[in-house]
Chains A and B, each alone.
Chain A
């Protein structure tokens, strides 16, 4: 990491300054639809901002100090409100977010994880992201990233992943994922697409410093499609276009696909079979602003029994009543299906704030079954200064995370091959005080108190006399 010809200097400085071993930052907008879209290429698709970092314990500065510095530096670098990922949102869920590179031996490592579901991802985040690339958005695939088109997608998200590998050094992976729906944007309800129609741009030239550069198209199973330009490298249901200068494709390259025999696209009718092995729904029921029931229903779509880790990171705004935790299948209590329950109640931090509570458990989900977890929650009454300016909108709660566990049996099943799943975020409305009342309340309450205080001390101190009342 001593020369920054390709590695972005700005990011490198941050990593050095705060001694970060592994870093993952994702900024996503929209909710990933696992049932219809399957698993993403990059697992980090939780709505909003998510940041997690593994740091070695050192004697010079504490991990928390470096974590605080890291999020402030990244928030400056990416123009995102990562600074608010403070102790109220920080946890250390090591099982769900393990080190993905090598396990360092030089120091014990600690994890810090925080997410901010209300972060809106927009152009101001994309521009600094593109600046990290050696060719910026001038050449290569990154040239396609036209903000107007990318942010019009059904789902879009970017990620920065820094992974330390013992033999190879630091690996930086910048990802940008988006889900486009050509049927929605095309005039004739057709599903034909090409780079020009998706991005308003084509690939003009590869980035000169790139060792390899390729576009991969997953081919649909039906036969009647046509892909242009023709003659890509076919492999395993994929069409691969190498973009290196030696390739035989004409530049500018406008990859596309069309269905000549199809007049207009008809969405498949429900019921659809979910693509992912697990489908998760998470809601908060309840009519009052003071309490509710958090309920999570997990469906195992595969024919095998699944073991899934369940992680709930709940800001202290919501108190989970653990004694009301229920695990049900078809309204029958099945507490045996939940094991390894670990619960950390919110803890008071040094700055008088409460950290989130963390609930982690292992669920055993029988094949083709829906498991329902529910627990009562209380919503906090906050001071008027703790509410955001748009208090009536409510608070976004981060989604729960389901993660695969190492299977105990050695027989490999295809459906066990899945990655972290994020549930959509929840919006919870907290009871609000009246924000225009501070002076009135101070005046009214103090008046009442002094009135009673005064009356009583008046009674206690004055002398009793009998007076003559004359007409």
Chain B
């Protein structure tokens, strides 16, 4: 059995959504949850207009997309909704291939059709991913590229994986978090060792070489972007600088915007540094702890990005949530899945509601939306803690079995009623 009926059906549905004129599309395009100033379709079009009229798009402070996207949409293909649908299809396909690589199946032939249908559906039907894609936010491309990088890495295709991650880092510099786990996947394997942790199994000496190759690709992309931008470096400040210096304080579901709206001017640079460093600080601990399963480390870092990234949109936590389907072995060990689900539900309902109350109705104020974004942050954090816990808890296994084996050898039956696994 090598076909998964869900995939072609969902791709067709997604293409249909792209072609059909949807009633609320204009509202979606302007929605602050679905696209940030860095990914907005409106700004992309403005950049294309400016370019067409021989005005440097990066001077205005309104355009933050990479010159590569600009030249793609100005010369090769206009920004049509169908491209977003195709990108979604590629993303789902990449997720499927990651799953197959992790299960040790051949990339072309899947067997467990039910699981594969589920994975594809979870990607296509995840509202956090579907809505930004319908809003034509370029975060769809970033997600697809991230998944492609992970897919190539899982399949051991070194150059393709490094090129894909170089593209991702070029589009969103904060994706640099995923570089180390991807390099680790490349030199070891994507197969799950969560249940039986072992020291890092792979040739560490290859990592610097791979890193060099990545740097080369990245530099080539930077050079290409520079040529596309007409030889000037304005775009670096406008596109990469934006996620470091946060010049645009448009609300989003993340934690940065209100913090820096309310920040005292003289503390602003310090806290910008703290927030940026805070992202990077997760790389090493997670990669060391999950050295036996670097794909899982990459998944956790996607979760970190989906919670703490500057200019967060729903597409970022969406990728994390959809990737959960890749790791069915940990589902039984999640720490508080119901709490996490409810938090996400709470945030997903509150965010649009409070946003409307604040900026459209004028009945609420900024604090309403801020409270909703805090819930979103808690949901992201809870999901992350859940996944982190489950990834380690699975190694301990069933407490009773473990305990009985151990206790039988010692002193026979005790008065214990049950056993529990805890951390000390």
Contacts and interface: CB of A to CB of B under 8 A. Distances in A.
A321 B281 CA distance: 38
B423 A322 contact: no
B49 A455 contact: no
Contact of A468 (B32, B308, B416): B416
Interface string A453-471: 1011111111111111111
Contacts of A287: 360
A354 interface: yes
Interface residues of A, number: 59
A464 B396 CA distance: 8
A312 to B, nearest CB: 14
A452 B308 CA distance: 10
B38 to A, nearest CB: 14
B interface: dominant SS: helix
A385 B278 contact: no
A289 B307 contact: no
Contacts of A322: 46, 49-50, 53
A466 B396 contact: yes
Contacts of B392: 459, 464
Contacts of A432: 365-366
Contacts of A463: 423-424
A345 B62 contact: yes
A455 B262 contact: no
A318 to B, nearest CB: 11
A469 B358 contact: no
Nearest to A459: B388
A319 B367 CA distance: 25
Nearest to B418: A469
Contact of A323 (B49, B59, B406, B424): B49
A447 to B, nearest CB: 9
B402 A469 contact: no
Nearest to B245: A352
Contact of A465 (B49, B248, B366, B422): B422
A10 interface: no
A448 interface: yes
B203 to A, nearest CB: 25
Nearest to A291: B30
Nearest to A438: B262
B370 interface: yes
B321 to A, nearest CB: 16
A64 B307 CA distance: 45
A156 B185 CA distance: 75
Given A449-B255, A471-B417, A466 B53 contact: no
A437 interface: yes
A433 B358 CA distance: 10
B255 A381 contact: no
B385 interface: yes
B80 interface: no
A352 B69 CA distance: 27
Interface string B254-269: 0101111111110000
Nearest to A343: B55
Contacts of B50: 322, 343, 345
A448 B381 contact: yes
B19 interface: no
Given A291-B30, A347-B60, A348-B59, A442 B259 contact: yes
A382 B247 CA distance: 10
A434 B366 contact: yes
Interface string A429-440: 001111001100
B262 A345 contact: no
Contacts of B421: 464-467
A143 interface: no
Interface in A130-171: none
Interface in B269-289: 278, 281-282, 285-286, 289
B320 to A, nearest CB: 13
B420 A469 contact: yes
A460 to B, nearest CB: 5
B55 A437 contact: no
Interface string A359-389: 0000000000000000010101111110000
A444 interface: yes
Contact of A321 (B46, B278, B367, B381): B46
Given A381-B249, A448-B381, A452-B381, A468 B396 contact: no
B233 interface: no
B55 A434 contact: no
Nearest to B414: A468
16 contacts: A287-B360, A290-B250, A345-B61, A346-B62, A383-B263, A431-B358, A434-B366, A441-B258, A442-B259, A453-B281, A456-B388, A463-B423, A464-B393, A466-B396, A466-B420, A468-B403
Interface of B: 30, 32, 42, 45-46, 48-50, 53, 55, 57, 59-62, 248-251, 255, 257-265, 278, 281-282, 285-286, 289, 307-308, 358-360, 362, 365-367, 370, 374, 377-378, 380-381, 384-385, 388-389, 392-393, 395-396, 399, 402-403, 406, 414-424
Given A441-B262, A456-B388, 17 more contacts: A287-B360, A319-B60, A319-B62, A323-B45, A345-B55, A381-B257, A383-B261, A434-B367, A438-B263, A438-B264, A455-B385, A459-B392, A460-B388, A462-B424, A466-B420, A468-B403, A469-B420
What 3 A-B pairs come out closest when comparing CB atoms? A345-B60, A452-B381, A323-B49
